Amino acid sequence: MFTNVVNYFGLHLFDIFILLFVAAFTLIWFQWITKKLSSVPLAPLPPGPRGLPIVGYFPYLSQNLHIDLTALGEVYGPIYKFWMGTKLCVVINSPQLVAQVGREQDIIFSNRDVGVSASIISQGGLNISFQPYGTDWKKLRKILVREMLNNSVLDNLTELRRQEVRKSVKCIYEKRESPVNIALFTYQTTINCVIGMTIGTSLEENESVSHVDGSKFKKAVEELFELLAKPNISDIFPMLKWFDIQKIGRDTERINQVFEMVFDDAIAKKKKKAMKTNGNYSPILNESTTKDILQSLVELHLQPQDKDTYITIPEIKAILMVRT
């Protein structure tokens, strides 16, 4: 059983020694915390399977997590709990409870645990997906709805989408005598539409500065999704974060640099466009009737309407990552 887990996470002998050392330290810390909190009354927890000391129920879970959770639900009911290392997990698997958590009590359950990879790509949890509920979250939600999800904004960006589609059709026509990788071509067209609406450029136009072409961007997106979905020991045992045993943090940082190059170049262009001859910033005057999303976000950064609409550069990048 444990051999499968070790192989699954790709741990080596040195990594196991580190885990054992940290496990011993964790056991002492856990006993101290348990003793300290024993006198504090806690709300009753739902039933659930017993796990092992320190690692909890983690060794008993397979790669097919949805099957394991369904099986546990048949035993313990529509709501149950188990420990994943130092993290307490509560699972709900009934429509009624999902409605309670996701709709009626959404504010209480709005905060999320940010993993290592998610923290890196969201500038430390600055986007609306991982931002704790509060003033900053409300500000980001207001900006997101007004600048990205508004029907009038999407309608105004129709011309940008139309231009990318026409460009793609023309490209296919010009290559009618040679083979075309439809999968890559379709993906690049979709990405260019999204990036065009977001930052007002395409990968080809941005390549001269950031050196990021469509295939490299596609590979970065695919690798990022794999890293976000990959179980990470550091997420289960936060104290192991600095060791980065599986190198997920390192790989995410490397992939994030691809997005950073694209975003930094685009933001610099928007700032330059917004600068007056006297060196002051003014609202961007777009030559066309369309305005991309980044253009609006940079305006809020340079000249916010009020303190509630000011947005920082890291927050802009986090929003762009969600959009992309």
Predicted pLDDT at 285? 43
> In sequence order, which residues have a C-beta less than 8 Å from that of residue 278 and are 6 or more positions away?
none
Structure tokens at 23: 């496990």
Q: Chain centroid to CA 30: how far? A: 30
The ranges of the chain with pLDDT < 50 are 1-6, 8, 208-209, 277-278, 284-289
3-state secondary structure of 258: helix
Structure tokens at 169: 């059709």
- What does the alpha-carbon distance between residue 132 and residue 300 come to, in Å, rounded to a whole number? 22
User: How many CB atoms are closer than 10 A to CB 276?
Assistant: 8
Predicted pLDDT at 2? 45
- What does the alpha-carbon distance between residue 118 and residue 130 come to, in Å, rounded to a whole number? 8
Nearest CA among 268, 258, 253, 165 for reference residue 214: 258
User: How many CB atoms are closer than 10 A to CB 19?
Assistant: 20
- What kind and span of H or E run contains 3? helix 2-9
Q: Are 196 and 160 in contact (CB under 8 A)?
A: yes
User: How many CB atoms are closer than 10 A to CB 280?
Assistant: 10
User: How many CB atoms are closer than 10 A to CB 134?
Assistant: 10
- What does the alpha-carbon distance between residue 233 and residue 248 come to, in Å, rounded to a whole number? 10
Q: Are 230 and 79 in contact (CB under 8 A)?
A: no
Q: Are 260 and 274 in contact (CB under 8 A)?
A: no
- What does the alpha-carbon distance between residue 198 and residue 190 come to, in Å, rounded to a whole number? 12
Structure tokens at 51: 């796990």
- What does the alpha-carbon distance between residue 317 and residue 127 come to, in Å, rounded to a whole number? 9
